[in-house]
Amino acid sequence: MSTSKNLLATVATAGLAPWLVAQGLRVRRTTPRLPGASGPLTGLVPGPDPLRLLVLGESTVDGVGADTHEEALTGWLASALADRWGRGISWRVAGRTGANARTVRAELLAGACREPADLVVVALGVNDTIELRSAARYRRDLLALVVDARRVLGPVPVLLAGVPPLGAFPALPQPLRLVLGLRGAALDAAAATLATLPGVTYWPVPREVVDPALFAADGFHPGPSGYRLWAEQLAEIAYGQSPGGRALV
């Protein structure tokens, strides 16, 4: 399935290349540039026996579209996990706007892993899609990131958030939206194969998260309500509520 998606995305990219370049430049020029979330990169949801949560990734982890990290993916995820487990959550963020899987591994991972973690969540794929990385290369980079994180942290559970469906991003015009949607789906399918590794879980971004009403002003990132819905879904998976699932921690 991932091979056919990758082939379709490649054909579409090649056939529409001149148009896509022009549209991409226009989107870059006209889309509002929102900052990352402000405030501390660490926090605590009070409760007994705190679980140490580390979230790695791109602009969604950087909290673009939210004012603070409490209103972005990590803060909502920490709150949702605390509700489900009935324990505290000590969270920290290692995200960078514009980062891909390779740069997160090369430039953010070492600093992020200086402290222990009980659960690692990884949210990547949009920048790898925009940069036209192949599904195979994305899988290699994502695998290397997971392996290096666990080499330092030990056999910590890893939850891979799927690649957001760019085919539903309001900021993208057609046919750019179609082509990036196809390319993102190919990368997402490649990421899903890593769930065969012990201790690694994958969960796709739910379609309801990309409701246009839940996007930030740039039409490219979630707003606080979108982040909350996404976090609730990830928390359900971490807690073991997927069909036949079990808690990750």
Q: Say if residue 246's pLDDT is above 90.
A: no
What pLDDT score does 26 carry? 59
Tell me what the mean pLDDT of segment 137-166 comes to. Answer: 97
**Comparing 147 with 30, which gets the higher pLDDT?**
147
Domain boundaries, the chain: 2-239
Q: Which CATH number fits domain 2-239: 3.30.1600.10, 3.40.50.12780, 3.40.50.1110, 2.60.120.380?
A: 3.40.50.1110
What is the tens place of the pLDDT at every residue in 159-176? 999 999 999 999 888 888
Average pLDDT, the chain: 89
State yes or no: pLDDT of 8 exceeds 90: no
User: Can you give the pTM of this predicted structure?
Assistant: 0.89
For residue 226, pLDDT beyond 60: yes
Q: Give tens-digit pLDDT for 83-124.
A: 999 999 999 999 999 999 999 999 999 999 999 999 999 999
| Cα distance between residue 132 and residue 184, in whole Å | 9
pLDDT score at 27 = 57
